[in-house]
Structure 1
Amino acid sequence: MPAKGDHDARRRDVSEAVWRVVATAGFTGLTMRAVAAELGASTGLVTHYFPSKALLVRHALDLAAERTDERPLRTPEAPGLAALRAAVLDVAPVDGDAVAMNRVWVSSWDLALADAGFGAAQAARYTRWRAKLARHVADAQERGEIGAGDPADLAARVAAFTHGLVTQALFDPEAFGAARQERLVDGFLDSLRAGAPARDS
């Protein structure tokens, strides 16, 4: 029997291969054979850790959630609009890691629509994200940076814009590079200023 340390290290290697396959080929491309090829090993090694496709998919989803929750986030210069901008850019696919993360999540939407349990988990995740955005919106309103309106509705607009930007950037990365994404984010956030009270200079 291999030592526990060796077993754990090998499982981490398999997990990394699972992540790379999903980030490249999406969940439709996630197969035992694809993971084995990515790992440079036999399918028997993969099935040792994940005996079924369902367990392999579940592990990939758990990895996506774990990496999303543990990824480094921007430190905003101030609360309010600056924090809202940072939260949007934390999601936007402006670098390689963010592109991979978004490819995984977007490819998982089909699973979420087909599986009630996973769909509920996704809905809960998006509810938490919108709540976080709504707190930034409310702070921005208190600071006079954003006009009046229901913070939850404005947060939903921000979330919809962000997901729209994500899908365009994933499908046309040459047209939606990091610099353009940031300009689009800034332009969208400027549109939320309408009706904000004038601030003393």
Structure 2
Amino acid sequence: MTSRQDRKRVRKAPEERRQEIVAAAARIGLTEGLERITLRRVADDLGVRSGLVGHYFPTAEDLVTEAFTSAAAGELDALLPETAGDRSRGSAVRVLQNFLARLSGPVFDDVSRLWLNARHLSRYRPVLNEGVVRQELLWCRRVEQVIAAGVAQGSFRCEDPWEAAVRVIAVLDGVNSYTNTSAQQRSAPLIDMVRTFTEAELGLPRDALLPHGPAADGSDREPRPADR
């Protein structure tokens, strides 16, 4: 059997190697927790020397922050791409329908746990705290852009898209805070909470943001803001 030291080392471009290290650390953070990310652990997973990882990330805190940022931003790009709020790219209602539907699936549980983990650790780690704050604002900004597009399209009624986005993300975080503990016992009352709150926040009729909407009669008509 060939030992790790005997394997042929492959020289990679610096940026490629750095991305490989961050991706490996992000996988560990998502599946096991950010506390499990160490220079040695990442090196072992990649089959390289820990000194190579340390060359790109002199401290574990820098690597943990980069791993969290990569995982959180990558999930956001998958759920709500940067172009999702472009008013010329289609219905903001459809964008939110897809966004909320994907958030409710079990695939998002690992990311929910990652956020809980990062917020806890950020209390003691200033560098990670800065990274968490940046990602929080980025998530809110993406939602704000979609809401603003929906207002411009006449689909949403909202005086301040930024404040609405912050409240939607806060409700999402509140629901996800039970991921590690009583999620099963609380799932039924909470399963539609983010969606129904968002509908009310944007002046939409109930169930307007169900993934197979918007019209109950099966037509492709956009839901209009509800009268209040």
Taking structure 1 as the reference length, what is the TM-score of the superposition? 0.66
| Aligned 8 A contact 2:147 2:156 in 1 | yes
Q: CA deviation at 1:164?
A: 1.0
Q: CA deviation at 1:158?
A: 0.6
| Aligned 8 A contact 2:22 2:70 in 1 | no
1 CA distance for matches of 2:58 and 2:135? 21
Distance 1:79 1:50, change over 3 A: same
What is the total number of aligned residue pairs between the two structures? 192
Question: Please, which moves more after superposition, 103-112 or 156-165?
Answer: 103-112
2 CA distance for matches of 1:129 and 1:30? 24
Percentage of matched positions with identical amino acids: 15
2 CA distance for matches of 1:4 and 1:33? 19
Q: 1:61 aligns with which of 56, 65, 75?
A: 65
1 CA distance for matches of 2:173 and 2:148? 21
| Aligned 8 A contact 1:146 1:193 in 2 | yes
Give me the CA root mean square deviation: 4.2
Unaligned runs of at least 5 residues, structure 2: 1-7, 205-224
What SS does the aligned partner of 1:126 have? helix
What SS does the aligned partner of 1:4 have? coil
Which residue does the alignment assign to 2:96? 84
Distance 1:32 1:123, change over 3 A: closer
Q: How does 1:141-152 map to 2 (within 5 A)?
A: 141-152=151-162
Question: Please, which moves more after superposition, 154-163 or 167-176?
Answer: 167-176
Q: Which has the higher helix share?
A: 1
1 CA distance for matches of 2:60 and 2:118? 13
What SS does the aligned partner of 1:147 have? coil
What SS does the aligned partner of 1:156 have? helix
Question: Please, which moves more after superposition, 102-111 or 74-83?
Answer: 74-83
Q: CA deviation at 1:157?
A: 0.9
1 CA distance for matches of 2:161 and 2:19? 41
Distance 1:23 1:47, change over 3 A: farther
Q: How does 1:118-129 map to 2 (within 5 A)?
A: 118-129=128-139
Q: How does 1:1-201 map to 2 (within 5 A)?
A: 2-4=9-11, 18-31=25-38, 39=45, 45-46=49-50, 49-50=53-54, 55-71=59-75, 72-73=78-79, 78-89=90-101, 92=103, 94-96=105-107, 98-175=108-185, 183-194=192-203, 196=225
